[in-house]
Amino acid sequence: MRYSVLDLAPVPEGHDTRTAIANSVALAQAAEGWGYHRYWLAEHHNMPGIASAATSVLIGHIADATERMRIGAGGIMLPNHAPLAIAEQFGTLATIHPNRIDLGLGRAPGGDMNIARALRRGMEQDSFPDDVVELIQLLGDHRPGAPVAAHPGEGTHVPVWILGSSLYGAQLAAHLGLPYAFASHFAPDALDQAVQIYRDRFQPSAQLDRPYFMLAANVFAAETDAEGAYLRTSMQQAFAHLRTGKPGKLPAPVADIEATIGPDMTRAVGQALRVSATGSKASVRSALTAMQDRYTPDEMILTGQIHDAAARQRSFQIAAEVLSDMGAAQAA
């Protein structure tokens, strides 16, 4: 089984962006040794707790610091960008790091209308499907007579993924014959239906001959269940702050999450983050096995906003051990 990392390059309270980026590099290097297949970074803007806004720049930095693992975007929010600009950026990355770069595309803006205006992108109409097709063409073979070509980019055939948290992305990925990653780590409500639609409606393409589904899950693994639950409170707080319009740096964990954000918000955040594996190695194994049995993903991508960098590394290490064991059991 393939397993991968989704990293938002979190900036913990008490630390700066430089430290966050260094933590991501260190995690990527360790993850490569633990058998992770991909290391993806996500585009978000105007959020002091996330250091991956310039996603393609950070992808290049982490690709330089690693050797074998695929590095990519999970994802680029395409409404923010001209397809040509993304084709040139990822074509350049693929030229420097051949056969190692992935390009996941999302439809959300990664921020509000103020972000759209600051990025000089109009949001009057939904051109996402056309932009995806244009981008694939720009990364594809030379097109004689085409008025515009991506240099670098043309001929690199960077693998394109569709990311989503609704049925829209599932339908588009199926129609275009692209691999599909569902954002179940924070918006799981449509997960079951989206997976079914994607698999039922998939049409083979030049990139992919059968459906390829990636499931996203949070992991807060530690030596004990209590420690895992404690580590998780940082992400619970961050999610609560985001929902109340007060994003900030990743908070330190707390002993009593209900006392910190209130019981109603605790329940709401728990629903949003319910696709999670939390606690000891045995508890994480039980949760990930249940996800595997229910959704049979081709790949799992794990994330987890943990305040302490060493604890975050240990969490991903434990998860890798669990998933490696699960894969060996399946192959037996």
pLDDT (0 to 100) of residue 293:
97
**Percentage helix, strand, coil, to 5, in the chain?**
45, 15, 35
pLDDT in tens, 5-22: 999 999 999 999 999 999
Q: How far apart are CA 198 and CA 81, in angstroms?
A: 26
pLDDT (0 to 100) of residue 70:
98
Give the global pTM: 0.96
Query: What structural domains and CATH numbers belong to the chain?
Result: 2-216+296-331 (3.20.20.30)
Q: How far apart are CA 292 and CA 244, in angstroms?
A: 33
Q: How far apart are CA 258 and CA 255, in angstroms?
A: 9
pLDDT (0 to 100) of residue 111:
63
Residue with tokens 């728990």: 270
Name residue 123's amino acid: M
* pLDDT < 50 regions, the chain: none
**Considering Cα of 278, then 282, then 284, then 290, what sign does the dihedral take?**
negative
Residue 302: name the closest of 266, 287, 86 by CA.
Answer: 287
pLDDT (0 to 100) of residue 14:
97
